[in-house]
Amino acid sequence: MKGNAPLSTMIRGGGLFLLMLLSCNSGPESHTVTFSLDGGYFPEGYETTITVTDGNTLDGIPEPKKDSTYSYRYTFEGWYTDESFTDEYEYDTALPVTGDLTLYAKWNRYAISHTKRYTISFQTGGGTAVASQSVASGSLAVVPDEPEMEGYIFDGWYSDANTLMLYDFEAPVTSSITLYAKWAEACDVTFSNQMPDDIKHLVTIPDKVYVKKSDTMAFPAITIEGNTLSNIKLSYENGAEFDPNAPISEDLTLKVTIDSYAIAGDTYYVLTEAGLNEWATATARGISYDCVLLEDITLTNKDAGNWKSIGSYGSPYDGTFDGNGHRIGSLNIKEAMSPSNWEGLGFFGYLDGTVRDLHVDGVIEITDNTGNKMSYSVGGIAGTVEDSAAIIGCSSEIKISMKAETVCAGGTAGENEGSIIDCYYIGNGTSSSFEKDGSYAHIGDDYWRSSLCRFRRHNRN
């Protein structure tokens, strides 16, 4: 009964009836909600049966737990209004409670594996500690990081204390075992950084490596700005070249330096003329390798006049050449053949990259023995500077001699469509003739104006 609803009762007896009117003043109706936990339990303090006022909804019910058994573990998946778990009870969409209600906990059951496990222990015999491993029966132990011990080099894990039986980490584990580290007497090989001063601070060399006595040494990892440096020279303290095939029987120090050039990524680090020729040969194959000079270089072909300008028409040099403040001397180019296309002559023929901090000196001679007009652009640094190229902080002391027509010439560049910044030319040149309309010009001796032909941008040069 709800509220104050009247209750009428009629009693008849012996012709007499009595009408009794009772009034009920009870409070709001309540309902019982029961939680069927199927072996689970609530946190302490929360009952499995609660009373809910008619019209209210359920909220704040804590998530139950169910203890694992030997064979299974359980996770709670939600409340349902039926034992078949077809009608999920969701708090946010649930209707008000208007009658007694039973909610059933649904559990997901997961089988527990009871595979036997074994312990692999490691005895390092004075070396750094190695943690033991728990390995399932039939599985493989993991090869641990090698331990270390001063004056010795690690020589493997053995299954016996006398280190006679090398352990096979590919063999399935079937019992708990102890593995023993074997140690071999080591020689200390220390490295001395004798790199050229220009890159010494950029090169990373290991301080020391340990080599098993009477073994040969693997070449150490040497990098420059994160890139592996190849073509490195190792030598003994007496200057003799290190023999990588010679067994090492005592502690020693090796000097690390560059013989003629070294390579890291796409960059050549050049120390000698031989190294410069290696870079030029590699670049002539079609890849514009970057180059960094480490010393002044004097070319020995000065009488032959056979320096091959880097970069050609249709295949300009588009890398970066860093003279690093050094000089290339005795650059000698002699040209007496009529080119099939417009040809650039200089240290670079056609430049579409960047040259910086380079000084060149030498001689460039252009001779027309055919009587034909020859098409050249001639400059100490580059014959032709294309529109995306730049020459920065360079100088030229090239003597240019022209006995030909149709020649663009300049101390730094013959033809410039790019940028020439803070460069200068020291020297002079000679020309037997030039175009009357001024499109082409002779070489002058002006200190700053180092490109005198087709100068399309008013840069300071």
Closest CA to 293 of 280, 306, 302: 280
Would residue 375 count as lying in a domain? yes
pLDDT score for 456 = 34
Tell me the average pLDDT of the chain.
83
Same domain, 96 and 194: no
CB-CB contact of 85 with 104 (8 Å) = yes
Positive or negative: CA dihedral 203, 209, 214, 218: negative
pLDDT score for 90 = 81
Q: What is the rounded distance in angstroms from the CA atom of residue 458 to the CA atom of residue 460?
A: 7
Same domain, 40 and 151: no
Structure tokens at 135: 């390995």
Same domain, 34 and 146: no
Q: What is the CATH number of the domain that holds 98?
A: 2.60.40.4270
> Quick count: other Cβ atoms within 10 Å of Cβ 335?
20
Positive or negative: CA dihedral 123, 124, 125, 128: negative
Would residue 457 count as lying in a domain? no
Same domain, 97 and 144: no
Same domain, 323 and 386: yes
Same domain, 202 and 179: no
Q: What is the DSSP string of 80-122?
A: ESSTTS-SB--TTTPPPP-S-EEEEEEEEEEEPP---EEEEEE
Would residue 443 count as lying in a domain? no
Q: 351 pairs with which residues across the strands?
A: 317, 385
Would residue 316 count as lying in a domain? yes
Same domain, 224 and 172: no
Kindly list the strands in the beta sheet with 348-351, ordered across the sheet, starting from the edge strand earlier in the chain.
Answer: 348-351, 382-385, 413-416
Would residue 402 count as lying in a domain? yes
Burial profile 170-180: b = 16 or more Cβ within 10 angstroms, e = fewer: eeebeeeeebb
Same domain, 316 and 237: no
Domain count, the chain: 4
Per-residue pLDDT, averaged over 270-280, amounts to 95
Same domain, 423 and 304: yes
Same domain, 359 and 426: yes
pLDDT score for 92 = 65
Same domain, 351 and 400: yes
For residue 22, what pLDDT band results from cuts at 50, 70 and 90?
very low
Would residue 357 count as lying in a domain? yes
Would residue 460 count as lying in a domain? no
59, 78, 111: which is the final residue of a domain?
Answer: 111
111, 139, 170: which is the final residue of a domain?
Answer: 111
pLDDT score for 100 = 94
Same domain, 151 and 106: no
Mind listing the pLDDT tens digit for each residue in 153-177? 999 999 999 999 999 999 999 999 9
Q: What is the rounded distance in angstroms from the CA atom of residue 171 to the CA atom of residue 139?
A: 8
Return the minimum-mean-pLDDT range out of 63-67, 382-386, 439-443.
Answer: 439-443
Q: What is the CATH number of the domain that holds 352?
A: 2.160.20.110
Cβ neighbours of residue 264 closer than 8 Å, sequence gap 6 or more: 223, 224, 225, 227, 228, 229, 230
Rounded to two decimals, what is the model's pTM? 0.62
Q: State how far Cα 310 lies from the chain centre.
A: 32
What percentage of the chain carries pLDDT values higher than 90? 59
Domain housing 153? 117-185
| Choice between 190 and 58, residue whose per-residue pLDDT is larger | 190
Q: What is the rounded distance in angstroms from the CA atom of residue 141 to the CA atom of residue 441?
A: 80
86, 111, 136: which is the final residue of a domain?
Answer: 111
Per-residue pLDDT, averaged over 277-285, amounts to 94
pLDDT score for 233 = 92
Would residue 4 count as lying in a domain? no
Per-residue pLDDT, averaged over 244-264, amounts to 93
Closest CA to 350 of 405, 407, 301, 288: 288
Mind listing the pLDDT tens digit for each residue in 91-106? 666 778 899 999 999 9
The region, left, alpha or beta by phi > 0 then psi within -120 to 50, assigned to residue 274 is alpha
> Quick count: other Cβ atoms within 10 Å of Cβ 328?
23
